[in-house]
Structures are given as structure tokens and as C-alpha cells.
């Protein structure tokens, strides 16, 4: 809402006065760097949605960007989002691993044969077995 009529301005002034007094009381009693309580923000947000952010902010003298974000969901370009709340995240189950099966046939010069089936293992581990198979018998 860009402009506000005189009638709306007077209506806002009447509605906002109790909130302005509550905020002034909070300012006098608050601790250093204490954020404004959410119930006060909630009332200010409702008024900003009805009458506009700027008129409400000017009367209450509160953070314009904070009120704008709460009332309209607008975030200043380049500003960092606040810390995200922890939430449950469900991840899809990984696909079941495919079983890889290898069959290796060994044959020596004397005609002896050996067949080795390897399921999901490392074929390099067969090297000592193959060397022992081909080693001449003593």
C-alpha cells in the first residue's frame, strides 16, 4: 500500500496508540540488545499489513526491514538469511548395490584347471592364488 488517506491515517493513529505505549514501556524496561517481544511484533505486523509498513514504522519507531519482512515477507537483497531451524530431512534410500560376480578360469601347462568365482571382491586379490597355482610343484 503506497499511499494512505487522511481518514486511514487518523484511524491508524487511534488503533496504534496502545501499541506505541506498550513499545515505549518495553524500551524503558528492556535489557541491552534485547529484541522486541514477539507479541509486540505480531500486533505491529497486523497493522502494517492493513495500513502499510512505512506509516506504522514511523509512528512506532521500530526496525523498518524487520517489520517489512514480517508483514510482507520481503528480505533486503543481499542480506543473509537467519539461522535455519533444524528440521527432519528424509533422504531417499540408496539403490541396492548390484552384486558383481566374476568367474576366473586358470589352466596350467599340464592341463590342470581351476575356476574361481568372486562375488563383489577385488580381482587383484586373486593374483597370489594364481601364482601359487602356476608355481611348479616341488
Does the pLDDT of residue 57 top 90, yes or no? yes
Give φ, ψ of 22 to 5 degrees: -65, -40
Grid cell 552384486 is found at 99
pLDDT band at 84 (very low <50, low <70, confident <90, very high): low
Does the pLDDT of residue 54 top 50, yes or no? yes
pLDDT at residue 2 in the model: 55
Query: What radius of gyration do the chain's Cα atoms show?
Result: 37
Does the pLDDT of residue 77 top 70, yes or no? no
pLDDT band at 134 (very low <50, low <70, confident <90, very high): confident
Give φ, ψ of 102 to 5 degrees: -115, 145
Contact present, 19 and 44 (Cβ < 8 Å): yes
Start-to-end Cα distance in the chain: 99
User: Reduced to 3 states, what is the DSSP secondary structure of residue 85?
Assistant: coil
pLDDT at residue 8 in the model: 87
- Distance from C-alpha of 3 to C-alpha of 52, rounded to nearest angstrom: 8
pLDDT at residue 97 in the model: 67
Q: Where are the domains of the chain?
A: 6-72, 101-134
- Segment 19-45 mean pLDDT: 92
In the 8-state DSSP scheme, what is residue 1?
Answer: -
pLDDT at residue 16 in the model: 92
Grid cell 517481544 is found at 37
Contact present, 39 and 27 (Cβ < 8 Å): no
pLDDT at residue 127 in the model: 84
Q: State the number of CA atoms in the 13 A half-sphere of 108 facing the CB.
A: 12
Amino acid at each position: 500500500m503506497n499511499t494512505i488517506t487522511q481518514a486511514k491515517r487518523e484511524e491508524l493513529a487511534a488503533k496504534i496508540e496502545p501499541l506505541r505505549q506498550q513499545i515505549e514501556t518495553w524500551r524503558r524496561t528492556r535489557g541491552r540488545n534485547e529484541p522486541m517481544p514477539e507479541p509486540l511484533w505480531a500486533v505491529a505486523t497486523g497493522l502494517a499489513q492493513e495500513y502499510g509498513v512505512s506509516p506504522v514504522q514511523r509512528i512506532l519507531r521500530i526496525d523498518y526491514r524487520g517489520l517489512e519482512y514480517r508483514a510482507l515477507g520481503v528480505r533486503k537483497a543481499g542480506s543473509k538469511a537467519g539461522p535455519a531451524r533444524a528440521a527432519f530431512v528424509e533422504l531417499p534410500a540408496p539403490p541396492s548395490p548390484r552384486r558383481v560376480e566374476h568367474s576366473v578360469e586358470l589352466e596350467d601347462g599340464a592341463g590342470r584347471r581351476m575356476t574361481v568365482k568372486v562375488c563383489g571382491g577385488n580381482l587383484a586379490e586373486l593374483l597370489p592364488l594364481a601364482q601359487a597355482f602356476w608355481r611348479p610343484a616341488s
